[in-house]
Amino acid sequence: MLKEAWMLAIETLSWMEMRKLSERLALSKTVKQLGVNDADAVRLAHMLSLETIRRRNFIDTFINKTLKPQTINEFNLGIQAFLRLYVYQTRIAKNWSKIDIKEAQNVAKIARSILGWKTLRKVEPVLGFLLTQKPHVIYEGLSDEERIGLQTFHPTWFVKYCFKLFGRREAIAFLEGNMRSPPTYIRLNTLRAGESEILEKITKDAIRVKKVEELKYAYRVVSTEKPLTRTLSFREGLFYIQDKASCFAAEAANPESGMTVLDVCAAPAAKTTYLAQLMHNSGHIYSIDYSKRRMDIWKNEVAHLNVEIATPVIADACHSPPLKIEADIAVLDPPCTSTGAFGKLPSAKWRLTRRSVDKMAEIQWQMLTSVAEAIKPEGTLVYSTCSVTVEENEMLIERFLKWHANFSLAGIMPNMGLPGLRGLEKCQRLYPHVHECNGFFIAKLVNEKLA
């Protein structure tokens, strides 16, 4: 099992580096590629990959200090992945305090069998130094932002951005919140059964949960004896694994039975299925996404959760919707930099630059203005992202309101977040270190144009 887990982890990190894939996609591709069926090996590989990539800047700096004058990037992807995983498992997982030589030797033996002894021979002499090197050496001669970046595992440019946006003290609290994966939340699916019946069934599945008081059907998972996706209640469609921030966006839209709703960037169906649930499967939802692959997932989820009122539409949301409808509600959750979800998606940190924020904001602007065309008079447009940058959020809403005088901000219920920045207090923000979920922004806009 251990060899399979390390083989999966090395290959997963290699795919992430080569193709810029997310943790989940890279692991899924690797499991399929290598034909691994051992669930324990897959779980261990996921943990190793996730926790290693979370700390990539720290680990690479530590390795480069030891390799000097060489750098980790001079080796092939397999060696790079192994060295990172080796430092995590033998040093960081031990909190730097215990040196387990026997374990280190076993890990090297496993890597030799996976990568080949000739390949590993290039770095074997340095493994002992990595096992004994003191971690504090990496901080010598660094600026404050560089040091905080290494301590909290974030790019220096993002640390500087957060200092400017939140102030140093609050920024560090936010960055430290990103160092951990957020709790797991589920949303009970009342399109399959009543809430009390679902709670009874998930209890039989040994899933312990705690209600999120502000939301209707969201629960925090306290403990579970096996992966949620392998439980009977999950297979029966009785719950959906969904962050509470995502549930918040659907509830803020406040859809009612019989309404016409536009769900933009709908795949993989988290919002569509919750909107349908809140509408009691009465009315109609048009779900738009540009990706056929993602919409295939959407179709499976919609059927699994017993949604009967949703129609899939494959289209580019940057252009006017290819539908002649007037929506009572439109929900837009566009692609974003995911700067609020680094705890859950740590690899995203290393794919971004400061320019990424502005590029993404322009795409979001195109989507926002296109979707606005489909909102009926007195209709509502809900805009949300899992990003904390103002360029993708408040500044975008300010720009939209300037160019669309018929729209105005509305208050959001439930009121479970902090006020928006730049004076947009009707908007709401959620933060990992405050709300124990993904960082999140939401704005609710009403079309006041008379019919």
| 159 contacts 172 by C-beta, under 8 angstroms | no
Mean pLDDT, rounded, for 338-351: 96
Catalytic residue among 247, 265, 386, 427: 386
Residue 450: what pLDDT? 60
Closest CA to 7 of 45, 55, 46: 45
Query: In this predicted structure, which of 136-140, 185-189, 201-205, 410-414 has the lowest mean pLDDT?
Result: 136-140
Closest CA to 318 of 289, 357, 339, 279: 289
Residue 277: what pLDDT? 98
Name the β-bridge partners of 430: 440
Residue 161: what pLDDT? 98
* C-alpha–C-alpha distance, residues 409 and 418, integer Å: 16
Mean pLDDT, rounded, for 60-77: 95
List of residues 6+ apart from 285 with CB closer than 8 A? 261, 262, 263, 272, 275, 276, 279, 307, 309, 310, 311
| 115 contacts 123 by C-beta, under 8 angstroms | no
According to DSSP, the β-strands at 239-241 and 185-188 are antiparallel
Token duo for residue 47 = 């943990």
Residue 386 annotated to the active site: yes
pTM: 0.94
Q: What percent of the chain has pLDDT over 90?
A: 95
Residue 322: what pLDDT? 86
Residue 60: what pLDDT? 98
Query: In this predicted structure, which of 220-234, 254-268, 312-326 has the lowest mean pLDDT?
Result: 312-326
In this predicted structure, the answer to whether residue 442 has a pLDDT above a threshold of 90 is yes
